[in-house]
Structure 1
Amino acid sequence: LNISLSEFTARIEQKLERTPQIFGKQEDKIQRVSWCTGGAQNLIDEVIALDVGLYLSGEVSEKIPAAALENNLTYIAAGHHATERYGIQALCNHLSKTFQLKHQYIEIENSV
């Protein structure tokens, strides 16, 4: 991966239909990304040990901005619900095909 932070962020914003929050280093190019959907901000110490350039998750808590900056990491909080939306749809599709189930995904707006 060799993409600018602004381009990466624009893609996230377009796909998730919300403006993400960005914390920490503001490098021009992103080489390696780690992500965990939902409320996975507390995994930041594990992510720091992986030596990635950017960590994408759903939520942000008080310690995250400083931890990201101190460890040369860009942290993107893109919304708990927004980052989990596609995973649950994929799971429903898989279960539907595997077990011949009918399902319907209902999108409920969530601004958090």
Structure 2
Amino acid sequence: AAAAAGGEGGPAPRSLQKERGGAESGPRQELLVFGYACKLFRDDERASEHEHGAQLIPWMGDKSLLIDRYDGRGHLHDLSEYDAGSWNQNYQLSEEEARIEALCDEERYLALGRICIE
């Protein structure tokens, strides 16, 4: 009987844990984990190429900067507009932009307010 009630003999049943506010109480305790089966193939030659960076390409012709050919940074050609000193120094929102930003913030955090109320 002690084991069934969560005594020294073992863990408490799930229904009893819920009543006590245990491991499964509250909305944050919900977790769904799933996966897919796969088959792994050993390819030592391809692994060696990958280990030595054979799949990397020079970024903007600079052989000292190698990136993967699927890297999104390969589409950036001029980074000067993103330099820390040149970005967003004196930008002021117009009244319309500020109004739209406030509406977006309200919508963005609307669900958070509902969760806090519950």
**What's the TM-score, normalizing by structure 2?**
0.24
Q: Does 1 or 2 have the higher relative contact order (CA < 8 Å, sep 6+)?
A: 1
The structure with the greater share of residues assigned to strand is 1
Bigger Rg, structure 1 or 2: 2
**What's the TM-score, normalizing by structure 1?**
0.25
